[in-house]
Chains A and B, each alone.
Chain A
Amino acid sequence: MYSVNYHRAASVADAAKLLKNGDAKLLSGGMTLIPAMKTRLAAPSDLVDVSRLKELQGVKVSGKTVTIGAATTHYDVSADEKLKKACPALAHMASLIGDPAVRYKGTIGGSIANNDPAADYPAALLALGATIITNKREIAADKFFKGLFETALKEGEIVTAVSFTAPAKAAYEKFRNPASRYAIVGVFVAKGKDGVRAAVTGAGEDGVFRSKEVEAALAKSFDASALNGLKVPAKGLMSDIHASADYRANLIAVMAKRAAAAANA
């Protein structure tokens, strides 16, 4: 790791100010940024730590509306009793991220701002039709996730929370990379007020995406059997030493079916 200036922000406004220092980066759980710095792949001049800001913490459920502070850890999301009632699929998904150490440090805001193509949250938020709230505006998930490690966030913009309407039914199934345990394919299916949405992580060349094929089949009937024999095209899917595009296409269909079954269980 190169030397770096560390700042602990006193508020979101303070963090926004501190971010103007040199080549500053926002630090939340640091589960991606710190390893990248240790291996010298990232070299920010300054770190602005927002992980302890009270205003960014916690899960709120009000009627059907769920709001999660950006610095809420995966563990806190997974263990939140209100969320387990309102949207058990998301709590369960959070319990599947990384390992216990990652879940105690990593945060939802950090995960979506980083938008790793194999991260879990982007699939969930896209399928839930969530809104990403920043210190400047609100952005629909459909507009937020742009590509590999790319989001709609502008320079100096800070994610403060995410919000969504709890779906009637939802579930997440992931197939892990045998080495890294990241998703090779993760599929989040949800049946909500705007119909059926199904988002796929780990597989797309451009990062998280909605699967038209899965959505069309589940829109007819939100049931695992609706996905029998479903063919997902391999075009646009990643190929690497762990999985070919064809294999990923197969896994999207299989994981979608398992998710649909779990959503109805």
Chain B
Amino acid sequence: MGIEGVGARVARKEDKRFITGGGRYVDDMVVPGMKHAVFVRSPHAHAQIKKIDVKKAQAMPGVIGVLTGKELKADGIGNLICGWMIHSKDGSPMKMGAWSPLAVDKVRYVGDAVVIVVAETKGQARDAAEAVEITYKELKAVVDATKAIQAGAPQIHAESDNNLIFDWEIGDGKATDAAIKSAAHVTRMKIVNNRLVPNAMEPRAALGHYDKAEDHYTCWTTSQNPHVARLVMSAFYNVAPENKLRVIAPDVGGGFGSKIYIYPEEIVCLWASKKTGVPVKWVADRTESFLSDAHGRDHVSTVEMAFDKDNRITGLKVDTIANLGAYMSLFSSCVPTYLYATLLSGQYNIPAIHANVRTVYTNTAPVDAYRGAGRPEATYLLERTMETAARELGVSPAELRRRNFITSFPHQTPVIMNYDAGDYNASLDAAMKAADYAGFTRRKADAAKRGKLRGIGMSCYIEACGIAPSAAVGSLGAGVGLWESAEVRVNAVGTIEVLTGSHSHGQGHETTFAQVVNQRFGVPLDSVSIVHGDTDKVQMGMGTYGSRSGAVGLSALSKALDKVEAKAKKIAAHLLEADEGDIVIENGEVKVAGTDKSLPWFQVALAAYTAHNLPAGMEPGLKETAFYDPANFTFPAGCYISEVEIDPETGVTDIIQFVAADDFGNIINPMIVEGQVHGGIAQGIGQALLEGAHYDGSGQLLTASYMDYTMPRAGDLPSFKVSTSNTPCPSNPLGIKGCGEAGAIGSPPAIINAITDALGVPDIAMPASPSTVWSAIRAKKH
């Protein structure tokens, strides 16, 4: 490791512009003639649209266009798609209802877009939006998925009887039932995973520009994957063919999954730009984000975990109802299935697993992947159940886990995954040591003297990242491949541009990708530029989500660097009159091993472009492209421990300590990895203690602003104690597993296990707010 190479704690290159206000976000983009859009959204959770009258709005000052779904349909713009086909256990395909970018006959959740108003200023667009007259016939709404599948519930889409989208299963039901029947002990729980609103710092935004002279569209959008956006907008929404559509995702202020999907607004802005003849910009306000960003989680499950007399798990049976909201968002179908149920083996040897998942329409915002996507739900279910089982069996939570840990690799689980490497005892040991687990009893007694309730809880999580082999996900129903591309352009003076299909919306790619280049050629970080987020610059890519930029994106970069290195060595061998096999590249010099013969890196690059003296038959230039398709998922894992102290008078939970011991494989930049873990834990603690989306019975979102939706604040969080003990990933060239989601996956059960330990109750709902904790204490007393 050099001072800027792999493993170095390099300060982030991009932070200078971010922290000095120099970032360039969609809302910073200005196109000559640009006008402003406001969407008229449904105030009702479920209603028929009887009439839309736009006359008054059209006559308002500054108004350029007021456009409806009917006009959109007439122009052939397609419905939104779901990119992952799931079949029910009876073999039938999922029953998906239509999602028109602008609602035509019916609205299905509060916030459903109905009309777009384009005006000279945003204020004028807002005024005109208020003048649009829509006559609705209100229908009964249902927001709770467990109620929506009951007979007689309001029917949201004609296509799905009783709002059931699919009824899917995985694993061996018979073997699992047999294991439960013959078990020495069965732990049974009902597990609820609360609905969350992603809340990226930058709200979603889109700027659509149709250039009539060129017959070409440009879309600036807050996207985690601009190439997928272009593909989908071309292939399914009929906006424009790919060669006539450029999608740019510039600086993006956080995504957490919510900016993976192609939403109605970017499609409508592009279409509206052609329709009105002006570039059209829309920027969500915060309440619009609450209402219309895809939400996360919202599962209700029952679980049965069977043990033999030696406390070994013999079977796991799970039944889950997942709320997908009013429409199927782009990856909504794979989150509660292949990203969830395939992780139900956790870190444990479980011979038989069966999971049944029903996905359900409700009159709520669409639900899709949110940091962790399925894996937090699996981990929460499993780790809450393990904790409860340990209490019921009268053994320590750590010992029960140890007894069941997978210790030899590769390990094939009963639910598809083949774990390639890991050391679960190592992370458990590290976490227990860092938390002074042994000293807890004393600390609990001290707290009791002060009238406080102490509890400790752990969570041993595993996740699958870097998704995934394209052929494998294709066979499971994915509509896209999940490889990544990289192009390395060495300039004539030796500086380097890396073009990547990964997209940074806070992850620090401009630093980590450059570190990998620095490691290879010794070129200073300042001489390496990372280009991403523009379909005109980067040919194709799959974007960033599922902790895949390191494991997949950097692997593609590594492959491209291999090709550049090979060619550079050929050129150097030729110039230095040495054998190609003797050439080494170190600290910015290209040397003949064992001699004092060397060339500076830039001279090799220059030679490639002057082409005065290249090996016979070699093409000039030094630029290579690689596509990397992963051979397997990667499997980050770790152990989190939290210790809490509860004030029984108020129900306030104070997190005394939070320890994370992770296995991320090889690490490019420990500081960035720690930042990812800190952010993930903050979100996980947010879910456990603070955050929860609440709809009332009529489908109004009660938590549609920060007045009612509790985002974690610095004061809510302790200083985290984080460490890693890493086993390199064997399936990719850099040995990376991924770290972006671990914190959000591993932390909620650690917190809830600690709270239930402190209170001596079997379960408590998330978020365990002071009011909820106080109520649990009171209920226990009575």
Contacts and interface: CB of A to CB of B under 8 A. Distances in A.
Interface of A: 1-2, 39-40, 175, 178-180, 241-244, 246-247, 250-251, 254
A39 B704 CA distance: 13
A246 B771 CA distance: 10
Interface string B700-723: 001100111111000000000000
Contacts of B775: 244, 246-247
B649 interface: yes
Nearest to B696: A241
A99 B127 CA distance: 32
Contacts of B706: 179-180
Interface string B743-782: 0000000000000000000000000011100110010000
Given A175-B650, A241-B694, A247 B708 contact: no
The B contact surface, by secondary structure, is loop
Contacts of A1: 123
A241 B123 CA distance: 33
Kindly name the residue among A40, A180, A241 whose own CB sees the greatest number of chain B CB atoms within 10 A. A241
Contacts of B707: 179-180
Contacts of A39: 287
Nearest to A242: B771
Interface in B666-720: 690, 694, 702-703, 706-711
Contacts of B123: 1
B54 to A, nearest CB: 20
Contacts of A242: 708, 769, 771
Nearest 7 A-B pairs (CB), nearest first? A179-B710, A180-B707, A178-B710, A254-B649, A247-B771, A243-B771, A241-B694
A178 B688 CA distance: 13
Contacts of A243: 771
A241 B772 CA distance: 10
Interface of B: 123, 126-127, 287, 649-651, 690, 694, 702-703, 706-711, 769-771, 774-775, 778
Nearest to A3: B123
Contacts of A40: 126
B549 to A, nearest CB: 32
A219 B174 CA distance: 70
A247 B710 contact: no
A241 B703 contact: yes
Contacts, number: 43
A179 B690 CA distance: 8
A97 B561 CA distance: 57
Contacts of A178: 690, 710, 769-770
Given A180-B706, A241-B703, 8 more contacts: A175-B650, A178-B769, A179-B711, A241-B694, A242-B769, A250-B774, A250-B778, A251-B650
A126 B541 CA distance: 64
A241 B650 contact: no
Given A178-B690, A241-B694, A244-B771, A254 B710 contact: no
A243 B770 CA distance: 9
Nearest to A255: B650
28 contacts: A2-B127, A39-B287, A40-B126, A175-B770, A178-B770, A179-B703, A179-B707, A179-B708, A179-B709, A179-B710, A179-B711, A180-B706, A180-B708, A241-B694, A241-B702, A241-B703, A241-B708, A242-B708, A242-B769, A243-B771, A244-B775, A246-B778, A247-B771, A250-B774, A250-B778, A251-B650, A254-B649, A254-B650
A250 B694 CA distance: 24
B764 to A, nearest CB: 15
Kindly name the residue among B649, B690, B694, B771 whose own CB sees the greatest number of chain A CB atoms within 10 A. B771
A246 B775 CA distance: 9
A175 B647 CA distance: 13
B286 to A, nearest CB: 10
Contacts of A250: 649, 774, 778
A180 B708 CA distance: 6
A179 B290 CA distance: 14
B690 A247 contact: no
A179 B770 CA distance: 12
Contacts of A251: 650
A217 to B, nearest CB: 16
A179 B287 CA distance: 15
A254 B650 CA distance: 7
Nearest to A179: B710
A208 B709 CA distance: 24
A128 to B, nearest CB: 25
A20 B570 CA distance: 87
Contacts of A244: 771, 775
Nearest to A251: B650
Nearest to B287: A39
B386 to A, nearest CB: 29
B371 to A, nearest CB: 20
Nearest to B767: A178
Contacts of B774: 247, 250
Contacts of A254: 649-650
Contacts of A247: 651, 771, 774-775
A1 B127 CA distance: 10
A106 to B, nearest CB: 16
Nearest to A178: B710
Contacts of B709: 179
A55 B472 CA distance: 76
A179 B713 CA distance: 10
A241 B697 CA distance: 13
A79 to B, nearest CB: 22
